[in-house]
Amino acid sequence: MSYPDVVIIGGGVVGCACAYYLTQAGVRVHLVEKGALGSGASRAGMSHIVTWEEPEIHLHLAKESRNLYQELSQVLPMDIQYRQTGSIAIVEQPEGMASFGETVRRLQDWRVKCQLLSPAELNAIEPSIAPDVGGGAYFEEDAQVNPLYATQAMACAAKEGGAVIETFNEVVGIECTPDHTRVTAVQTVRGRIPCEKIVIAAGAWSGQIAQMVNLEVPISPRKGTLVVTAPVPEDLFHCKILLAAGYMDSVREGASSGVAVAANLQQVKNGNLLLGSSRQFVGFDASVDPAVVSAMMKRNLRFFPGLAKVTAIRTWAGFRPYTPDLLPIISAVDSIQGLYIAAGHEGIGITEAPITGKLISQIVTGRAPDLPLGVLSLSRFNKTS
Ligand X SMILES: Cc1cc2nc3c(=O)[nH]c(=O)nc-3n(C[C@H](O)[C@H](O)[C@H](O)COP(=O)(O)OP(=O)(O)OC[C@H]3O[C@@H](n4cnc5c(N)ncnc54)[C@H](O)[C@@H]3O)c2cc1C
Let me know if 313 is exposed, middle or buried by CB neighbors in 10 A (0-12, 13-18, 19+): exposed
Closest by CA position to 213, among listed 226, 232, 228, 198: 198
- C-beta of 292: minimal distance to ligand X in Å? 11
Specify whether the CB–CB gap between 8 and 34 falls below 8 A: no
- C-beta of 132: minimal distance to ligand X in Å? 27
- C-beta of 145: minimal distance to ligand X in Å? 8
Does residue 321 have a cis bond before it (omega within 30 degrees)? no
- C-beta of 94: minimal distance to ligand X in Å? 28
**With respect to ligand X, which residue has the nearer C-beta, 97 or 215?**
215
**With respect to ligand X, which residue has the nearer C-beta, 85 or 97?**
85
**With respect to ligand X, which residue has the nearer C-beta, 121 or 175?**
175
Specify whether the CB–CB gap between 51 and 142 falls below 8 A: yes
Specify whether the CB–CB gap between 283 and 207 falls below 8 A: no
**With respect to ligand X, which residue has the nearer C-beta, 123 or 167?**
167
Specify whether the CB–CB gap between 376 and 327 falls below 8 A: yes
CA angle centred on 33, ends 37 and 319, rounded to 5°: 70
Residues that bind ligand X (CB under 6 A): 9-15, 32-35, 39-42, 44-48, 170-171, 201-205, 209, 224, 226, 276, 318, 320-321, 343, 345, 347-351
Q: How far apart are CA 196 and CA 159, in angstroms?
A: 20
Q: How far apart are CA 144 and CA 26, in angstroms?
A: 29
Residue 2 is classified by DSSP as P
Q: How far apart are CA 362 and CA 169, in angstroms?
A: 27
- C-beta of 322: minimal distance to ligand X in Å? 9
**With respect to ligand X, which residue has the nearer C-beta, 30 or 116?**
30
CA angle centred on 306, ends 146 and 95, rounded to 5°: 90
**With respect to ligand X, which residue has the nearer C-beta, 40 or 338?**
40
**With respect to ligand X, which residue has the nearer C-beta, 209 or 307?**
209
Task: Answer positive or negative: Cα dihedral of 366, 375, 9, 268.
Answer: negative
- C-beta of 347: minimal distance to ligand X in Å? 5
**With respect to ligand X, which residue has the nearer C-beta, 129 or 201?**
201
Q: How far apart are CA 220 and CA 343, in angstroms?
A: 11
- C-beta of 174: minimal distance to ligand X in Å? 10
- C-beta of 349: minimal distance to ligand X in Å? 2
